[in-house]
Structure formats: C-alpha cells, structure tokens
Structure 1
Amino acid sequence: MDQRNATNRPGAKHVALLAGVSTATVSRALNSPGAVDPATLQRVRDAVAQLRYVPHGAARSLRSQRSRMVGAIVPSFDYALYAKTTSALQQHLSAQGYSVVLAEHHYDLEQELHVARQLVEHGVDAFMLVGIDHDPRLFDLLDEHRRPFVLTWGVDTTGRHPYIGFDNRAAAQEVARHVISLGHERIGIVSAPVEGNDRGRERLAGFRAAIAQAGLKEPQVEHARIALHDAAAAMKKLLARKPRPTAVLATNDVLAVGAMMACRAAGISIPDDVAITGIDNTDLGATQTPGLTSVRTPIVEIGEAAAEQLVALIEGRGEARSRVMEFELVVRDSARRRLRRKDG
C-alpha cells in the first residue's frame, strides 16, 4: 500500500486541476452535491476516485483516533429485513461503546461507493456491506484507508473478501424442490430486480436450477420492485398466462404476499388453485391466511456476528474471517400437493 505522508497526499487543488474546475466547486461537489450540475459533479467524483482523495482534516482525524462508529450501507430502507439486521448490529455495537451510521444506495453500486467515501471522510471506523456485488473501487477505497469491512447476506465464492451470510441459491433450491415434490409442474416466479442485487440473482438462479434438474419446462418469470403493489401487478401477469402456473415461487416474502393479494382479488384460491412460497420467513408471511411457506434466513444472526467481527478488527483482536450460516425451510399452508384437474 502507498505510504505517502500527509504533505504528499492529494489535495482539493489537485482534484480541481484534474476535474477542470475551481477548488470552490470541488468543495460544493463534496459537501452539497445537489448544488452542482450533474456533469461537473461526475467529473469531480471521477477525479476524487482517481486520486483517492480524502480531505486532510478528516484524514488526520482518522489517523489520530477512532470514531467508534461503524457504517452500515444497505440497498434500501424500504425493505424491513435490512432494518432487522442493522438493529441487531446496533444493539451489539452499543453494548461495546460503538454506534452505527446508516446509509442506503438504492441498488446503485456507484452511489454506494460515493456514500462510503463520505463516511470515510467523516471518520467511520469500519463497514458492514450488504451482498457480494460491489464496485471494485469500493474495496480499493477501504483498503487505501485501512477500513475493515464485512460483506453480509451472501457467500463470496471467490474467497477475496470476508463475509457473514448464507447461500441464497441453495435456499431457493430447497423451497423450489419442496414445491416440485408436491407435484407442481407449471411454475411461475416473481423475482426482485437482479441488477446490483446478487441476493435476487442467486435466488432466481436457485429456482431455475431446481426446475431444470426436475426436467420441467422453463419457468415463467416476472420481475417486480420489492413492494406489495408491484408484486401484485407481476402476479396478475402470471395469472393471465394460458395455461397459468399452478405454483408461484417468490424471491422474498414481500413479493410472495403481493402475489397472494393478486390471487385474492381475482378470486383464486391459495393453495388449491395456486401454491405460493417466499423466502426470509417474515412476520408478514407467517401471519397471512393461509400462512406462507418460506425459508427462515439468519437475518438477526448476521447483524450480531458482523458486530462482533468488526469490533474485533477495529481493536486489533482478530483477523477477518468468513462464516456461512444455516437456513431452514418452514412449511405452512400456502403450498400443498397438486390436485389434478382437467387443465392438468
């Protein structure tokens, strides 16, 4: 790693020169990005990334002392499960005298990089990141400024980065195999968007793999944002197919419950007409009528383990390590054995 001293570190004037703007514009871009036009803002951000620039005052603070703050950057505040993970992280950190700084990036990995750089500038000691997919420049940033981190909610099969998570593909395969074992052959899928979302991508791949291994036809797939209304709209499209699927697999419980809403609105019985399953085993799914068959994932345990590891890394009491956690199929009444009818 480059060991340049403070006098050789890039300054705002170097960023300004590379971006072709004034130092005042650099300051506005870093502190009030909304006040700078998008093209100029992008030039400044590119220059900051190329130079690996951190304001000198923040850099001195980082070198001199810990802030006792951990950054948790999640894809979205709208998805309640990330709140459960970060709540567990906060509780365990608080007991050891640390606080959490929470940020979101809306599945935009470049925005995640920008947010992480801001948190580094404000002295955050370490990071909990969600998922395996990240801009490579993010890891360069954290390495340059010696900020420990842990990836969560997934498994980094490359072995390059420490993670605490579970096998999303295997979890999806397990619930898909359960549905297939009930005699369902026409299967539909409601999937979260997969761009910038390795969890959704791996779950969708797990569904497809189980269906292919069973020798069944390619599943009908509709994508939807993780919101009940969007999921209901996606399910409505699946129900309009001829012939319609006898079972629908959703990549999370929110999408599954949205699918159930569409069935109720159309007068379609669950599970007699259509079986529905989810993943994550949330209260939302468990309290439906019928209760949602799902996969319990270690949402809280991930936050607790991440807190323990990050504190140990910050305080020099251990090395970064990876951990694969268990999941469990939870069978309820939203999926049952296929009743053979005239439509097959």
Structure 2
Amino acid sequence: MTKITIPLDNPTLDDVARHADVSPATVSRFMNNPSIVSERSKRKIEESIRELSYVPHAAARTLASKKSRMIGVVVPSLDDALFGHFLELFHSHISTEGYTTVVASSGYSSDEEHIQITQMVSHGVDALLLVGLARDESVYSLLNKKKIPYAITWATDDLGEHSCVGFSNHDAAVKITEYLMDLGHRQFAMISGTLKGNDRASNRLQGVRDALARRELSLPDELVIEGPIGIEHGQKAFKLLMSRSPRPTVIVCGADPLAYGAIFESKVLGVEVPQDVSITGFDDTWLAAHLTPSLTTLRTPQQQMSLLSAEYLIAKLKGEDVDVPPTLGVDLVVRESCSSPA
C-alpha cells in the first residue's frame, strides 16, 4: 500500500488505513473496540490519526453501528474533588475500550438529574452511571424501555431491584458512631447534607441514629443541621451547634467538606478540637489528612467503585451475563480530631 504523506482537508477512514498500511477493517475495529487490535497496528493507526488530523464522523458511526460509544455519567456536583477523581478513573478505564464519558451535574436536584438523563438518552448514550437511588421510577422505566444498561454507585440496593456498585452508607455511619461511643461519647450532634432526595445523606443519618439506639441513646432533631454540602454550611452549622446548651461532645459530619468547615469555625470561636468537641468526616478526601487537627473520617472505596462500575457497564454493552460486585467495604481512618470527652 502507498502511504499518504501530504495533509488532507477531510481525511477518511480509508485514508487512515492507507497511511497506517493496514486494512480499513482494522481501522474500523480500532475505532469500535481497540482492545481486539494488536498493539503494533494500534500504534500505527494512532500515529496516522494524529498526522492526518482524522476525526471520525460521530453520526455516521452511530448509524452504522447503532452505538454512540458514549457512556453518560450524572453526578451530584462537579465542584468537588471527590467526584472529579472518581470520574477520572472511570473515564480512564472505559476509554481503553473505545468509549467516551459524557458528564453532567444535577446540583443535588432530582428534577435537574431527570432532565440530564433524558437529554443523554435522546443523544444516544449507550449506558448510564448514576449516583444514589433516590429518583423517580419513571427514569428506570425509560432506561429499561430503551434497553440502556445502567449502574448506580455510592449506594446499595437491599431490594435487589437495581444494579449497584457501592457501599452501605447506613453501615458506614454505624461504624463511626460505634467508635465514638466506645470513646465514651453520649452527647451527639450531626451536620448533614440536604436530606430531601438524597438517600446517601438520609442513610448516613439513620445509621447514626440506629447505632445510638442500640445503646439507648438518641440524636434529637434540633441537633441535626442539614444543608448543602460545603465548607460554608459546615461553618454555620458548627457555630449553631456550639450555641446549644449543653454542647454536644462530638459532631458527626455527613461529608468531609462539612467537617472542614466545622474545624475552620472552631478556630474562630476558640473551641479546641478534640479537647472540647470531637469532629468526624465522611469519604476521606485529600485534605482530611492535612488539616490541623487531621480529620478522623471514613474512607469510601472510590477507586474500586469507579473501576468496577466501568467493568460492569462494558461487560453489559458486550452482551455478557455479568453480576454486580458484592457490597464494598468502608474503612474507619482514625486521626487527631477525635478523643474521649472531657
């Protein structure tokens, strides 16, 4: 074959094949499923694509294969390192199979999530990855009707109705509450994310309450401050809780940013952590280990969830009969922000 050596205004798949000295069928296989192409051919095709500035026509590929090679992901927020790292790992894995990630943020709004999912379906995504279980059943009906595989992460489904790749928020909250009670704490408070439409936040709160109830303790409603997940809410909620009488000896935070805000505000108010009040987080995001004091928190299986979710959806798209992984574990990370009550 004669290799093309001059730039083309609108190179085609056949041009790439001639330039790479491979067959058009090999280039097509590379576009649709890179993993089945030899490393030698893959390198030649990638080099030719770069040199020719070839961009495949997405609409034509979709019509020919009935696949868009896109997987949609809707997360609660993009203003959060937690989901950013998760998405990076997920995309890295699916891209090796020739898929592209399409990302949207719901802003913790179920109505906005519904709009984003509908738009992704209308644009022909091949599969969807969603966060949490709290959404209208019409979403699942739509996905099932369109035969679009989906997985739900950051949650588990005890009823087994939906494919989940995640952990139990309830059991994780039980774990950290039991640790705090073992330290001697009896006066609990909680700074929570918004509870409405957020099963993760609701299950974390319920886990705290269930663990306390087992030892005949309780968490009154007035000691649960809910709001948007962020440092500012953590600061405001901490200030409010410190005005209560008697003060709680420990504050369980439903997410690390809420705990960050609480610790920052403690310095403003002159409250010593953990001598005056202990504080815990949830997720073990990167700043937790670098705060003063460093944050006791729960390390959620973010890397496992992203990789296993990707593997599950890719397998479903290949038509394989695959089971979802078992419920993943959450680790308690003990640092400096907790001690026995004074």
TM score, norm. by length of structure 1: 0.79
The one of 265, 274, 285 equivalent to 1:262 is 265
C-alpha displacement at 1:94, in angstroms? 1.1
Which residue in 1 is equivalent to 2:337? 334
- Following TM superposition, by how much is the alpha carbon of 1:227 offset from its aligned partner in structure 2, in angstroms? 1.0
Question: RMSD of the TM alignment (CA)?
Answer: 1.6
After superposition, the Cα gap between the structure-2 partners of 1:96 and 1:214, relative to the gap in structure 1 and judged at 3 Å, is: same
Q: 2:182 is matched with which residue?
A: 181
The 8 Å contact of residues 186 and 246 in structure 1, kept in 2 or not, is answered as yes
In the TM superposition, what is the alpha-carbon distance from 1:318 to its structure 2 partner?
A: 2.8
Q: Distance in 1 between matches of 2:277 and 2:332?
A: 19
Q: Is the 8 A contact 2:81 2:285 kept in 1?
A: no
Matched residue type, 2:320: R
Q: 1:160 to 1:63 in 2, by over 3 A?
A: farther
Q: 2:237 aligns with which of 230, 234, 237?
A: 234
The answer to whether the aligner puts 1:92 opposite 2:89 as a matched pair is no
Alignment correspondent of 1:283: 286
**1:116-127 map, 5 Å:** 116-127=117-128
SS in 2 for 1:188: strand
Structure 1 position 66 matched with structure 2 position 67: yes
Q: What do residues 70-98 of structure 1 show as CA deviations (whole Å, max 9, x unaligned)?
A: 00011111232122221111010111111
Query: Which residue is 1:202 aligned to?
Result: 203
Segments of structure 1 that go 5 or more residues without pairing to the other structure are: 1-57, 340-344
Measure how far apart 1:322 and its partner are.
4.6
**Conserved? CA contact 1:313–1:320, under 8 Å:** no
Q: State the 1:196 CA deviation.
A: 1.3
> How much does 1:174 deviate?
0.7
1:231 Cα shift?
Answer: 1.1
Pairwise mapping of residues 132-211 of structure 1 onto structure 2 (< 5 A)?
132-211=133-212
User: Max radius of gyration: which structure?
Assistant: 2
Specify the SS of the correspondent of 1:71. strand
Q: Which moved more, 1:217-226 or 1:204-213?
A: 217-226
Q: Is the 8 A contact 1:110 1:135 kept in 2?
A: no
Residue identity over aligned pairs, in percent, reads 37
Tell me how far apart the structure 2 counterparts of residues 133 and 106 of structure 1 sit (CA, whole Å): 14
Determine the structure 2 residue equivalent to 1:273.
Answer: 276
In structure 1, the partner of 2:24 is: none
Query: Measured at CA, do residues 63 and 189 of structure 1 come closer, stay the same or move farther in structure 2, by a change above 3 Å?
Result: farther
Structure 1 position 63, deviation (Å): 8.9
Whether the 8 Å CA contact 1:154–1:168 is kept in 2: the answer is yes
Quick one: distance in 1 between partners of 2:238 and 2:64? 53
Unmatched segments (≥5 aa) in structure 2: 1-58
Q: Could you report, residue by residue, the CA deviation over 1:236-259 in whole angstroms, capped at 9, with x for unpaired residues?
A: 000000111111100111111111
Q: How far off is 1:116 after superposition?
A: 1.2
Q: Is the 8 A contact 1:271 1:334 kept in 2?
A: yes
Q: SS state of the match for residue 72, structure 2?
A: strand
State whether residues 273 and 337 of structure 2, in contact with CA within 8 Å, keep that contact through their aligned partners in structure 1.
Answer: yes
1:298-332 C-alpha deviation (Å, 9 max, x unpaired) = 01211111111111111112335353111111111
Kindly report structure 1 stretches of 4+ aligned residues shifted beyond 3 Å.
60-64
